[in-house]
Structure 1
Amino acid sequence: MSQKVLLLNQDYSPLAVCTVNKAFILLYLEKADMVREVDGEALHSVDRTFPKPAVIKLRKYIYLPYKNVMLSRQNIFRRDKHQCQYCGKSSDLTVDHLIPKAKGGKTTWSNLVTACKRCNTVKGNSTPEEVGLRLKQKPYRPNYLLFLRDYLGNQNKDWEDFFPQASA
């Protein structure tokens, strides 16, 4: 039961991704309703069979303040699709400050990019423009819902209808 289940709020907005076990408990306790089930798969108890959830919806609306994606090394890599933002290489990766810390650069979503060690060394304590490096994409702060969709391994076709179609 390592598959994930999309958890929707009462208004069908994506709230989180949870385990099949957690989803089943919410369904069993009647705190959630099944929206979509996994075709051809089921959960079995000693004497009963239950459909395996793919998407569930809470019965009561949960108010959550605006959620941010936490700034971390792994989340920078996820946002940048595990590729150097200068050359496109996908191995030997580090995090690079566009404006170096020594020149007043901050540790923010808009100042950090994934870079391979070679490009990071070439850039050194300069800005990309000063050494002739060009970014493949401008760094941005990921939206929480798009982060769930794009970066947490959403390969589940049952989830597509519940996320915005535009990319971040």
Structure 2
Amino acid sequence: MRIAKRPRLRLDLKSFCLLRLSTLKRDGWRCQSCGSSVGLEVHHITPRSNLGDDVQENLITLCWKCHRQIHSK
């Protein structure tokens, strides 16, 4: 018996840009790992490939260095 996957919530580009901006504001325009305010990116806590949704609860602000470090593990 196969278990059906639920569809993940993926936003269109404009909606995701607005979500990204609200996530950056929520996190005080700082990397939530090291505190840097340079080179900020928004990271999916649960990756899209693992059915991670495009919702603020699944996003965190990271600088590019911390983001790269997480993905290199």
Q: TM-score, normalised by structure 2?
A: 0.68
- Greater strand share, structure number: 1
* Residue from 77, 81, 87 that aligns with 2:34: 87
Runs of 5+ in structure 1 lacking a partner? 1-70, 126-130, 132-168
Letter in 2 for 1:105: G
Query: Residue type of the partner of 1:100?
Result: P
Rg (Cα) greater in structure: 1
Deviates more, 1:116-125 or 1:82-91: 116-125
Q: Tell me if the contact between 2:30 and 2:36 (Cα under 8 Å) persists in the aligned partners.
A: yes
Q: Tell me the secondary structure at the aligned position of residue 29 of structure 2.
A: coil
User: Unaligned stretches of 5+ in structure 2?
Assistant: 1-17
Match of residue 113 from structure 1: 60
Rounded to whole Å, the distance in 1 between the matches of 2:35 and 2:50 is 26
Structure with greater helix percent = 2
TM-score by length of 1: 0.31
Where in structure 1 do 4 or more consecutive aligned residues deviate above 4 Å? none
1:101 aligns with 2:42: no
CA offset at residue 99 of structure 1?
A: 0.9
Amino acid at match of 1:98: I
Query: Matches of residues 102-141 of structure 1 in structure 2 within 5 Å?
Result: 102-124=49-71
Number of residue pairs aligned between Structure 1 and Structure 2? 56
Render the CA deviation track for 1:3-53: whole Å, top value 9, x for unaligned. xxxxxxxxxxxxxxxxxxxxxxxxxxxxxxxxxxxxxxxxxxxxxxxxxxx
Q: Following the alignment from structure 1 to structure 2, what is the Cα–Cα distance between the partners of residues 85 and 105? A: 19
RMSD between superposed Cα atoms in Å: 1.6
Where relative contact order (Cα < 8 A, 6+ residues apart) is larger, the structure is 2
